Chain A
């Protein structure tokens, strides 16, 4: 029982492994997006962190700030889930790209914007998960992604409810990306479930 809290703490090698997988996942997600908008999309940064769960909402502006979450569950060789969270500003910028609007043209999330967002969530979420499944030769069947617009804390609770049964920290990947002429600035968090991390590490040959 006592060592469970330390269980999720990743050492340098494990963090590097998760980083390289997250990178492949995000890369694949970006190619999916690029195909959708028919433009090149580049990732400008990726950073990996282990943070106390209570501080995670601050990475996307604070617990009561409206953010967009993409939630994917999966089953197959393993079950688990993955949460991608980003700020509305990022989403609005991406929607501008998706719909071919001038930068800054999209200011609200009406039906068309929400549907574009859902489509984007679908692509990013499943491409990310598939890349990791392929890299590890795992059969992971993702659920249809669920796209949620709500307060950051409320959305993160979905991921936390599982992770915090085991630990008080969460592992996040933070990234920003864009096309050659504009960047979707802001934070894009990837939060793997405790089970997911365990599966990844054991299938990559790191015993946990």
Chain B
């Protein structure tokens, strides 16, 4: 408590704004700096949450206080002062720019390379767009179509109000509040995120990505996503934005929970390109994310696909708990690090159900001075009769100043379960480069081509419309890593 009081005092002294207490003015809807129970209450009140939600948050907060930041990852994390950030800040009304001419030319050049349509470029760069692109109307159209199918897709705060029984039943089921340090922090202070509910037998009529890209642009630092697919339901969800966000936010701790019932399938794709910091390692997002799905029913399937090119530090292990008989878990990952980026990412496949199967394909690319680590667990419990796992981890090193690491954990407690793991580390061969160069392909394009070939197995799992952008993103992220 002493630290909290101190913070309040400091805020009071430094800004003189504390006299307004928690009554914030409308222009900058912000809670005071720091983290304590009052901040948690403030967030909950702002979100007009029911009492049970506040209790849940407080429980998480108290749990968080007793926990320690994990240090087992191969990451060099500078100490984070949790009292030195804002935990609630409503989307700021940023001044709209009048035309693209006012936008940072470097940013525009990147959009150009990604092949982003002009209208979308304007939206991303916060340029006022015409009515045709009005996200509200577009959103309404989508919402009508979705509700016709019975699909619930709304911000999590709305779901807490409108579907409390669903949220109460499932939130924290897959990632309990005390699961880990960052999950506990998120549980206490999450401000944004999505809620998806697909009723029995429904195949979601569209990729939920499109909607997300338009409406959930200004997601907070602490998102919370919950996706529930009832029996025989199907949904494909794409998170993130393929265009670079010039976000200077320091800490990003999200939680994603997936629940798949009998014969349901959830496909979750991420293209993460948060600001990685500059070439000297200054700035950038610390991305500490807990993602986990549970296949509760028989033959349920959860598939994670991620393309991670951004963030200064990535700490992320999208996992599957395969409880159902013959349930399936998949993890396809490309993690690319350049300059001073650090990534420690991988997956956990917990096999409980008979005949459960999992596939892990991980492609790590390190360039510059970066460190890239795959860390994964395959756990066969005694009940996992005839379960099967196949893991392949390949690392590619570009340059001699970076590191590529593979740390797989394999635990098998059932003899009929079969586990196969293989990992390789190599660099771009001179033959491959020579082949490209002598055909007139420039050095950077050649590297991009070869790296994309290296990642092909993962890329083909992405929803089609994003493959092209993701491929270009890899090329851009590698810029300056050769020559």
A and B physically associate? no
Q: Give A contacts to B, CB under 8 Å.
A: none
